[in-house]
Amino acid sequence: MYNCTRNYINGEWVESGLGGVHDIINPATEQPVGQVAYGTAVDVDRAVAAARSAFAEFSRWTADDRVGLLESIAAEYRRRRDDIAAAITAEMGAPADFSRRSQAGSGLSHLNATIAALREVEWEEPAGNSVVWREPIGVCGLITPWNWPINQITCKVAPALAAGCTIVLKPSEIAPIDASLFAEVLHAAGVPAGVFNLVHGDGPGVGAAVSAHPDIDMVSFTGSTRAGVLVAKSAADTVKRVAQELGGKSPNIILESAPLDEAVAAGAHAMFHNTGQSCNAPSRMLVPQAVYDEAVKIAAAVAAETRCGDPHAPDTDIGPVISETQFKRIQGLIAAGLEEGAKLAAGGPGKPAGLETGYYVKPTVFRDVSNEMTIAREEIFGPVLCMIPYSDLEEAIRIANDTDYGLSSYVWGGSREEALAVARRLRAGMVHVNGANTDIMAPFGGYRKSGNGREWGRRGIEEFQEIKAVMGA
């Protein structure tokens, strides 16, 4: 059983629990795998005070010193990678191989990418007859989600440290185990006391206290758009910087010239990846009317071949969704799709055969979807693909951009040039062209209700910097 009943504050593990002790549920078994003690505003106050005190010294470290610290963290992380992967499988049900390769692997990738980016940061640059300095913004409150837990922790913590900031982290209360292990990694790597602090808890208790705290200079939040709005409102009174990576409803345009089998299959696989629990998942596939029926068959075949089951079984492709609450929400949205006239090409309501225990959702493909339907408007956050026909390119672009979100988009054409021409017209922070993977050195973030910040690589470090203009230097 995992024990997350202590917070990590000022270089020490300290008792918590004034907010109550709660079971951590394995979504594959529906059984507890540990306990987490929720902190309160009092714990946040202690963590912020430690971070504020440590900032005075840590902010003066040289870039080379911070590179060395991040290298030590990466080395210790590499040693604990299997422990972190096992924790993620236990707390969110990700298949074991996927947990090690992609979930835990992403943490190491962000550490290495930040080290590379830090070596290239220009801390001083001329501007007219003046000079511009980049400085750490200060004490940063980091609030992270459960779906890519260590990915989102490392892609915030690493650049914040690189910039010279100190940190108070509130991880997801649903998947807190990897965060506690990461705190152990930082401690073993020699991160100075107070530079990194961890406070477990829920949004109303700890998250709100972090957002509103007058001694926190910046909040970086990843989660739902609804929660992001609450964070921004809570932070407004103290006029702190708020960087947000929120929800998405990403379009995937298959152009007439695209290789249909390859493009549709790749899009369906990407949608079911991580059990559909990714904010940048290509959840709306837009297909030319002339090949729509064929495309539906291809996507349905991918759904049928996607093996859903025990995270420890070697042939499992996807595991359960994170919780009973999320399972019920997904089931409600599948029902809404049927009620509004969409048709099932694969999957549908209920659990897959033979998986009565665990929060498993059938890989599902909807056909005859219009962009006005609930399933095309709302982020489902499960393995549910909506397939929408279009008559011509102009309609495809209109449908793609007809969303409250703007995190990611996808386009596949017969040539790179054709796909890039469409990419320029898509209102999103990221565009994947002809099956290109996410690039960890490129900025990650979106437009509109998908947020307002950028993470990863050099721009991830810049999020945690202030700009000072010095005249007469």
Catalytic residues: 245, 279
Do 416 and 434 meet the contact criterion of CB atoms below 8 Å apart? yes
- Say which amino acid occupies 428: A
The first and second tokens of residue 253, run together, are 């345009």
Angle CA 324–325–328, to nearest 5: 85
> In what helix (H) or strand (E) does residue 79 lie, and over which residues does it extend?
helix 63-92
For residues 149 and 90, give the distance between their C-alpha atoms in angstroms, rounded to a whole number: 12
Q: 446: closest CA among 458, 429, 432, 431? A: 429
The span from the CA of 443 to the CA of 204, in Å, is 30
Closest by CA position to 223, among listed 166, 173, 160, 273: 173
Residues contacting 54, CB < 8 A, separation 6+: 10, 166, 192, 193, 194, 195
Contact between 272 and 383 (Cβ < 8 Å): yes
Beta bridge partner(s), residue 141: 168, 219
DSSP 212-249: H-TT--EEEEES-HHHHHHHHHHHHTTT-EEEEE----
